[in-house]
Chain A
Amino acid sequence: MNGYSEYMLCFMLFCIGLYCVLRKRNIIKIIIGLGIIEYAVNLFFVLVGYRSHGRAPILAKDQTILNMVDPLPQALVLTSIVIGLAVTALIVAIAIRIYEKYGTFDITKIRRLRG
């Protein structure tokens, strides 16, 4: 387990989010679950690029830095955070409209569609 505990903790976070999405009946709870999944995936990406005793990937004057952490996952996660924000905003908008139409956040009561 040594050296992998961070990864496993991150996966546990992912599973909590997954459980929330699959199991909860409240729309806001489902949105929260999606958010947690998003955090876990972002976190995993950054964990993967970390280097022990590394430095942040920003150059400083008059210094040559050799042990930088992997900058590529950070760039990717920046994109991924934005995607998470966009999805959250859209789903919240849909949820507000659903509340207006049905008067509830309970998905078992929002079942006008069959199947």
Chain B
Amino acid sequence: MKNKKEVGMTVIVKTITRLTVGLILLYGIYIVLHGHLSPGGGFAGGVIIALSFIHLMLAFGREVALKKLSQASASILESLGAIMFLGIAILGFIGGYFFLNFFLHKGKPFALFSAGIIPLCNIAICLKVGAGLFAIFAALVLFKGSDEK
């Protein structure tokens, strides 16, 4: 940490981060997609995805992480997730009710593509949660960064 040029943590941490960050991301996506079959769901998965980016930011410094997902695009993704979720809710009106699970065939139980709107909602929530929490964290860290200088 003494060397100012070196951003982020030590080489060991960086190497391990490089190996694990993809796995964490994948695990988050898995949890989101299987939210209607097994424990987890959009929220937990979204937090895990956000954590993978936060992991990057902690290990490599904020520039690297923000290059992968900038704050502005996180903000846009978040709004998109929110609108998507609201849109799914409004689409229920085609069946006559707000928030109706409008798929007539709910699919086979235990299959990945089943349960009507539930997986779609999970994806929307995941987008929202992941992008939103990353935006919060980036805002807090960036604020602190500018504070120290």
Contact = CB atoms under 8 A, between A and B. Distances in A.
Query: Is this pair of chains taken from one and the same complex?
Result: yes
B136 A89 contact: yes
Given A61-B110, A100-B147, A93 B140 contact: yes
A58 B38 contact: yes
Given A58-B38, A58-B39, A100-B147, A93 B139 contact: yes
Contacts of A82: 43
Contacts of A56: 39
A56 B37 CA distance: 13
Nearest to A60: B110
Interface in A81-102: 82, 85, 89, 92-93, 96, 100
B144 interface: yes
A96 B143 CA distance: 9
Contacts of A85: 133
A59 B38 CA distance: 9
15 contacts: A58-B38, A58-B39, A59-B109, A61-B110, A78-B43, A82-B43, A85-B133, A89-B136, A89-B140, A92-B140, A93-B136, A93-B139, A93-B140, A96-B143, A100-B147
A47 to B, nearest CB: 19
